[in-house]
Amino acid sequence: MPELPEVETIRRDLEKLLPGQIIKDVEIGAAKLIKEPGVREFKRRIKNKKIKGVRRRGKLLIIELSAGFLTCHLKLTGQLIYGEKDNKAKIGFLLSGGKYLNFNDLRLFGEIRLVDDWRNLLQIRRMGPEPLEADFTFETFKGMLEGKKSRIKPLLMDQAFIAGVGNLYAAEALFRSGIHPARTVNTLKPKETEELFLHIKGVLKEGIKYRGSSVDDYRDASGKKGFFASRLQVYGREGESCSRCKAKISRIKTGGRSSYFCPKCQK
């Protein structure tokens, strides 16, 4: 699933392309992707709306319109690509500039909504802080961890705890911090907590710098792959040698998800 760096990369791309354009029409090939309102009402309300800007909250893309907001959650296999009409797209938005905004989704897990105010969405109200915002300080992070006894990896992936961090970036941040993914929060030492805070921010910024990680279906708004996958140190590398100590990368299940780690570097 695209995480914060991938969604932010798409947002930055679309922010350069969409504002000022008008949605002239929408072609819907997979109605189940439209979660609200109903398809007929969605088509009626989206037409002739001017695009004012593109935002992101967690893993959610938010396109501000002249009336209302179009929200897009890519989920597992969603792609939002700007360009010529794609006949295989599940949803295609025809823009006044003659190009299309194509929503592709092989497994149809994505979610598109047209709402009056994105802040009222339940997933938004439940979402934790943005890890790259200035107000997400070490003191804030330390306070969020106090009293918790859960395993650190599933906690980092909990969108109610921190917004936008998923399996890939949690695994990489933990490796850089030397923390085993199955460790419980209450066993973390102050120095480890500080290292983890710094590396969460660091790996997310690096992911954005290299335009996301295309380990699966992720593509940027031009349909191109990101470059961060080549920099992964543990995620998806089971059985390969650790870049630090040459031990074999291992994989276990934590919180029902695969967790990649170095059994020697991460304690």
Catalytic annotation present for 130: no
Distance CA 197, CA 173 (A): 9
Q: What is the pLDDT along the chain (267 residues), one digit of tens a residue?
A: 899 999 999 999 999 999 999 999 999 999 999 999 999 999 999 999 999 999 999 999 999 999 999 999 999 999 999 999 999 999 999 999 999 999 999 999 999 999 999 999 999 999 999 999 999 999 999 999 999 999 999 999 999 999 999 999 999 999 999 999 999 999 999 999 999 999 999 999 999 999 999 998 999 999 999 999 999 999 999 999 999 999 999 999 999 999 999 999 999
Catalytic residue among 59, 90, 113, 219: 59
Catalytic residue among 3, 6, 8, 195: 3
Write the single-letter amino acid at 46.
I
Catalytic residue among 2, 131, 154, 181: 2
Catalytic annotation present for 257: yes
pTM (predicted TM-score): 0.96
Distance CA 222, CA 209 (A): 16
Given this model, what pLDDT does residue 1 score?
83
Q: How many Cα atoms sit within 13 Å of 44 on the Cβ side?
A: 6
pLDDT (tens digit, 9 = 90+) per residue, 164-204? 999 999 999 999 999 999 999 999 999 999 999 999 999 99
For residue 27, what are the β-bridge partners? 92
Given this model, what pLDDT does residue 165 score?
98
Catalytic annotation present for 3: yes
**Every domain of the chain and the residues it spans:** 4-125, 138-261
Catalytic annotation present for 151: no
Distance CA 136, CA 30 (A): 38
Place of tokens 């995480």: 3
198 contacts 206 by C-beta, under 8 angstroms: no
Which tokens is 7 given?
């969604």
**Alpha helix positions (H), 179-225:** 190-209
Catalytic residue among 47, 50, 257, 263: 257
CATH 1.10.8.50 holds for 138-261: yes
CATH 3.20.190.10 holds for 4-125: yes
Which tokens is 223 given?
């349909």
